[in-house]
Amino acid sequence: MLDITFAKPALPEKGALALLLGEGESLTGLGAAADTATGGAIARALAAASFKGKKNETVTILAPGAGLSRVVVVGLGKREEADGRATEEAGGTAAAALSAEPAGVLDVGPAAPARAAEAALGAVLRAWRFDKYRTTEKPEDKPKLARLTVAHADATKARAAWTPLKGVADGVFLARELVSEPPNVLTPAEMAERCRALAKLGIEVEVLGPKEMKKLGFGALLGVAQGSANEPRMVVMQWHGAGGAAAKGKRAAKAARPLAFIGKGVTFDTGGISLKPAAGMEDMKWDMAGAGTVVGLMAALAGRKAKVDAVGLVGLVENMPSGTAQRPGDVVKSYSGQTVEVLNTDAEGRLVLADVLWYCQERFDPAFMIDLATLTGAIVISLGHENAGLFSNDDDLAQKLIAAGQATGEGVWRMPLGEAYDKMLKSDIADMKNIGGRPGGAVTAAQFLQRFVNGKPWAHLDIAGTAWSSKDKPCVPKGATAFGVRLLDRLVAEHHEKG
Ligand code: BES
Ligand code: MN
Ligand code: ZN
């Protein structure tokens, strides 16, 4: 992670400076100091570039004098409207503009200390890069930014605001890393091992293998896994942060119902016997993004010591065609007891989630269940890459998710559920089939999942269009987005933490 420190504003003797400037604002603080030290070079450059201060508008001034290698000015939009989200984006844009510099000082201008922490968050999120498999890249081609000093008069308060945000950033990075890993490295067993490592954060981790799942009767999940030489896993992660019975002076409170997060973890989805076309199949390495987000979220909650009880469950399988693979037409018995006619082996995510959802509600009786899954191509057709599909049987939960999406930039758009869609899953020989036909494909997939939530409050996020980005965004470099970590962390922080 980009190394962040907070300090009182002081012009660096040499090196780079970044300034966040609102619309119509003149230079103040370090901006004014740098302008004076350089004989007005900064203001002259801004005028020459017709800089307006619009959101993420950027001007870079090289070697303006006074020992400065580079001054980057990033627009914030209207200062009075610059909320946490806008500040993060400006921080991310500044980090990108500083990437050729080993270090920099960032001045957020006249703003509350929390804004300085948010700018730092944007900067670290943007500066992250997955480069463990690059062995021959020349140093001059690598991004260099390693240290950022965020200037604020109340550096102590800014630093305090940064501490929990750093925990969230760590969770985002874990999710991005898992999603970025190639599928030969990140098998279900390997992903389970990486979940185990969360024990060091105080998370209780259990890993179930094929034997245990067979004993339980996870016929839907195991049917998907049976074509692969890589064994499936289910991982159960528990974070006990609410205090519960351990809280001093309280009578042994009965354990509060935990919040539950469930992720689809298909480490590679070939489609199985209903094989996918070759072009673009490599994208299916990120068919475990829902699970990656759940793991990253658990790390974020533990990393910032969230005062909440939460469980994270991930179903990890590889969907392969082989002599042992399930066939179109097979009927499997899910853990719930309901039978499923598998008419398309490429509709595998819902089969995996069916067993994990049922297990989750039965074992934990959670306050709610939220699942995340790169479930359907149809949601990409519906919503593109701008919003995840939100399906829920609980209006209050849905509203809270929509608000958390607006605050974090991880947008969700509510989609319908209903009996008419549910009927499309009717099978001629089993309790249901695993596909509902092309029309409303994302809805019938959600409808399928709803049959396994047993009436519990539930939301499903179809993240097929948002888990991966083909272009850089202010706080998200192209590639794995970790979509959902920040959204769900915000949901928890806003509505489910004590004190
Ligand atoms: N993992 C895919 C969905 C997907 C598509 C994710 C594109 C990310 C990008 C899922 O398992 C799948 O194959 N879904 C099928 C379902 C169909 C067979 C009913 C689909 O969407 O085509
Ligand atoms: Mn599939
Ligand atoms: Zn899939």
Domain containing residue 434: CATH number: 3.40.630.10
Tell whether ligand 1 has an atom less than 6 A from the beta carbon of residue 262: no
Q: How many C-beta neighbours within 10 Å does residue 155 have?
A: 18
Tokens at 176, concatenated: 């991005």
Q: Catalytic residue among 159, 176, 350, 433, which?
A: 350
Pick from 376, 379, 421, 468 the residue to mutate for probing ligand 1's pocket: most ligand atoms within 8 Å of its CB. Answer: 376
Q: Clarify whether residues 361 and 391 are in a common domain.
A: yes
Q: Which domain holds residue 75?
A: 3-152
In angstroms, what is the span from residue 346 Cα to ligand 1's centroid?
7
Residue with tokens 């890069």: 129
The residue whose CA is least distant from atom 17 of ligand 1 is 347
In angstroms, what is the span from residue 347 Cα to ligand 3's centroid?
7
Residue 498: which pLDDT band, with cuts at 50, 70 and 90? confident
Tell whether ligand 1 has an atom less than 6 A from the beta carbon of residue 288: no
Residue 246: which pLDDT band, with cuts at 50, 70 and 90? low
The yes-or-no verdict on residue 247 having pLDDT over 70 is no
Residue 157 lies in a domain: no
Distance CA 228, CA 189 (A): 12
Q: Clarify whether residues 391 and 343 are in a common domain.
A: yes
Total-model pTM: 0.98
Per residue in 360-389, pLDDT (tens digit) is 999 999 999 999 999 999 999 999 999 999
350 in active site = yes
The yes-or-no verdict on residue 313 having pLDDT over 50 is yes
Residue 158 lies in a domain: no
Tell whether ligand 1 has an atom less than 6 A from the beta carbon of residue 462: no
Q: Clarify whether residues 352 and 377 are in a common domain.
A: yes
The residue whose CA is least distant from atom 3 of ligand 1 is 376
Check residue 244 and give its pLDDT: 72
Tell whether ligand 1 has an atom less than 6 A from the beta carbon of residue 441: yes
Q: Clarify whether residues 142 and 182 are in a common domain.
A: no
Q: Which ligand is nearest to the CA of 463?
A: 1
Q: Clarify whether residues 195 and 54 are in a common domain.
A: no
> pLDDT above 70 covers what percent of the chain?
98
Pick from 342, 346, 350 the residue to mutate for probing ligand 1's pocket: most ligand atoms within 8 Å of its CB. Answer: 346
Q: Clarify whether residues 136 and 184 are in a common domain.
A: no
The yes-or-no verdict on residue 250 having pLDDT over 60 is no
Contact 119, 90 (CB under 8 A): yes
Q: Clarify whether residues 268 and 346 are in a common domain.
A: yes
Residue 303 lies in a domain: yes
Counting from 1 in the atom list of ligand 1, the atom nearest the Cα of 374 is: 6
Residue 159 lies in a domain: no
Counting from 1 in the atom list of ligand 1, the atom nearest the Cα of 442 is: 21
Distance CA 496, CA 119 (A): 25
Check residue 386 and give its pLDDT: 97
Q: Clarify whether residues 48 and 129 are in a common domain.
A: yes
Residue 377 lies in a domain: yes
The yes-or-no verdict on residue 70 having pLDDT over 70 is yes
Q: Catalytic residue among 157, 276, 305, 473, which?
A: 276
Q: Which ligand is nearest to the CA of 281?
A: 1
Q: Which ligand is nearest to the CA of 375?
A: 1
Side-chain half-sphere CA neighbours of 361 within 13 A: 21
Tell whether ligand 1 has an atom less than 6 A from the beta carbon of residue 378: yes
Give, in order, the Cα–Cα distances in Å from 46 to each of 37, 59, 104, 189, 255.
Answer: 16, 7, 20, 54, 59
Q: Which ligand is nearest to the CA of 272?
A: 2
The yes-or-no verdict on residue 499 having pLDDT over 80 is no
Per residue in 421-447, pLDDT (tens digit) is 999 999 999 999 999 999 999 999 999
Tell whether ligand 1 has an atom less than 6 A from the beta carbon of residue 347: yes
Contact 53, 25 (CB under 8 A): yes
Q: Clarify whether residues 73 and 108 are in a common domain.
A: yes
Say how many domains are in the chain: 2
The residue whose CA is least distant from atom 9 of ligand 1 is 464
The yes-or-no verdict on residue 252 having pLDDT over 80 is no
78 in active site = no
Contact 344, 223 (CB under 8 A): no
- Among the candidates 85, 118, 152, a domain finishes at 152
Residue 256: which pLDDT band, with cuts at 50, 70 and 90? confident
In terms of Cβ atoms closer than 10 Å to its own Cβ (0-12, 13-18, 19+), residue 205 is middle
Counting from 1 in the atom list of ligand 1, the atom nearest the Cα of 287 is: 1
- Among the candidates 123, 152, 181, a domain finishes at 152
From its phi and psi, is residue 50 left (phi > 0), alpha (psi between -120 and 50) or beta? left
Average pLDDT over residues 76-100: 98
Residue 162 lies in a domain: no
The residue whose CA is least distant from atom 5 of ligand 1 is 377
Residue 286 lies in a domain: yes
Side-by-side strand order, sheet with 339-342 = 330-333, 339-342, 432-433
Distance of CA 453 to the CA centre of its chain: 23
Tell whether ligand 1 has an atom less than 6 A from the beta carbon of residue 344: yes
Check residue 176 and give its pLDDT: 99
In angstroms, what is the span from residue 5 Cα to ligand 1's centroid?
43
Counting from 1 in the atom list of ligand 1, the atom nearest the Cα of 286 is: 8
Per residue in 445-484, pLDDT (tens digit) is 999 999 999 999 999 999 999 999 999 999 999 999 999 9
The CATH number linked to 96 is 3.40.220.10
Distance CA 156, CA 244 (A): 31
The yes-or-no verdict on residue 245 having pLDDT over 90 is no
Per residue in 18-63, pLDDT (tens digit) is 999 999 999 999 999 999 999 999 999 999 999 999 999 999 999 9
Q: Clarify whether residues 223 and 144 are in a common domain.
A: no
Residue with tokens 């844009």: 93
Tell whether ligand 1 has an atom less than 6 A from the beta carbon of residue 346: yes
Q: Clarify whether residues 340 and 363 are in a common domain.
A: yes
- Among the candidates 152, 176, 193, a domain finishes at 152
**Amino acid of residue 175:** A
Contact 224, 356 (CB under 8 A): no
In angstroms, what is the span from residue 271 Cα to ligand 2's centroid?
5
Q: Clarify whether residues 423 and 471 are in a common domain.
A: yes
Q: Please give the mean pLDDT across all residues of the chain.
A: 97
